[in-house]
Amino acid sequence: MQQERPNQMQEQIQYQMQESNTNAVASAHIGRSISNIYICWAVLLLLALALSSTTVNAQQARIIPRAPDIAATSYVLMDATTGDILVESNADIPLPPASLTKIMTDYVVASELSSGNISMNDDVFISVKAWQMDGSKMFIQEGTTVRLEDLIYGMVVQSGNDASVALAEHIAGSEEAFADMMNQHAELLGLTSSYFVNAHGLPADQHVMSARDLATLSQALISRFPENYKIYSTPEFTYNGIRQPNRNSLLFQDRNVDGMKTGFTDAAGYCLVASATRDDMRLIAVVMGTASENARAIEAQKLLTYGFRFYETLELFTGNEVLASNQVWSGKSNSIDIGIQDPVFISIPRGSDDDLVTDLQINENLKAPITAGEILGQVTISLDDQIYYQGEVIALQTIERGSLIKRIMDWLTLFFMNLFS
């Protein structure tokens, strides 16, 4: 009896040790499971935070509020580099333009200067008709002569109706003939909702312009005649002892604004074309039919601020930029550079350039001879399924036809490639 107790105790100890080991193993398994669960949750949490952060950043890059409410009959906001319209309302309605007409008068004058038909130093005779003009004036005198350059400043800065008529008569012989020149230039520029009867903008039947046409015209003047456009930033001009300030109040309120022109008649209301630059972006804002001088400046400023804040001008391609090098068959060279001939600019939501998607489609099996400039495909640039640019890609070099042996070898290669494809 006494000899069995040690065995029982050993068995009990062994049992307790086994139970303890079992509990320890179980505890270890449980501990490891809990640790693994914590690790999994931690990883999932980090992934969620990362995805959330990425989503938030992506969403932030896409947030563009609707355009501000503009108290005007018609208005447009244009990217002057691309010609893209960023904001518009009633943009194609023909309306009385008042003195905004003088932008076209100035465009014709600048074109004649560029062609060498007139000179800034021309002495311009002042007719009775020019001298008697109503409305805003430069105060020129009948029977005198005035330098053509002074008349341009008098028309642009002082909005002189007398200066406008004097310039028109000097260039075309009569204001009526000059109006015909204005309409021909309008047709060449693609201004589809404009018609001119006079050079100054005082009310006349059929004398109209649209906000879109005004933006297009202003864009053309700025890009084609930059030296002439500089006049629009002149803060004041004095002629015959009479000093008059520029009527574009935004010149004195916003350092980014460097032009353009105001206008007012009872029929037109208060109108303004304003242009400004910021961060290599130029915008043109047009407002027609606002309630006051102050209102036209406020509404145009709203458009400019909105455009600069939420959009940017992107140089998509430089001139003669290589987009791809592609194989050429039967040529002296085995490859050809393909790209865009002219620089390409697009207007995009600010900060979205990294998300642009490029789709380059090149014609199959290009064969020599190929001439530089020959169309070889198409490139499409899109963002969020919206196409921002689509254009042809061309050969950037000439590839002459290869030797007879080279052509035969390439023909055989293509034959077997097509046979087993």
| Cβ neighbours, 10 Å, residue 376 | 21
For the domain bounded by 74-312, which CATH number is listed? 3.40.710.10
Mean pLDDT for 48-67 is 59
Structure tokens at 254: 């916003």
Please give, one letter per residue, the 3-state secondary structure of 190-256.
CCCCCECCCCCCCCCCCCEECHHHHHHHHHHHHHHCHHHHHHHHCCEEEECCEEEECCCCHHHHCCC
| Cβ neighbours, 10 Å, residue 323 | 18
Who contacts 289 (Cβ-Cβ below 8 Å, separation ≥6)? 72, 73, 74, 95, 268, 269, 270, 271
Strand partners of residue 375: 394
**Domain range list for the chain:** 1-63, 74-312, 318-420
* 274 pLDDT higher than 60: yes
Contact (CB, 8 A) for 260 and 103? yes
For residue 37, the model assigns a pLDDT of 45
Longest dimension (CA), the chain: 151
pLDDT tens, position by position, 276-315: 999 999 999 999 999 999 999 999 999 999 999 999 999 9
Question: Which positions are catalytic?
Answer: 99, 102, 159
From CA 167, how far away is CA 106, in angstroms rounded?
9
Closest CA to 305 of 268, 250, 347, 382: 250
Report which DSSP code applies to 353.
G
Please calculate the CA angle 107-110-113 and round it to the nearest 5 degrees: 155
pLDDT tens, position by position, 184-211: 999 999 999 999 999 999 999 999 999 9
Per CATH, 74-312 and 318-420 having the same topology is answered no
pTM, entire model? 0.82
36 against 267, higher pLDDT: 267
For residue 383, the model assigns a pLDDT of 94
Please calculate the CA angle 352-254-65 and round it to the nearest 5 degrees: 35
Mean pLDDT for 362-373 is 94
Class of domain 318-420: mainly beta
Structure tokens at 350: 């600010």
For residue 193, the model assigns a pLDDT of 98
Structure tokens at 8: 């029982």
* 357 pLDDT higher than 80: yes
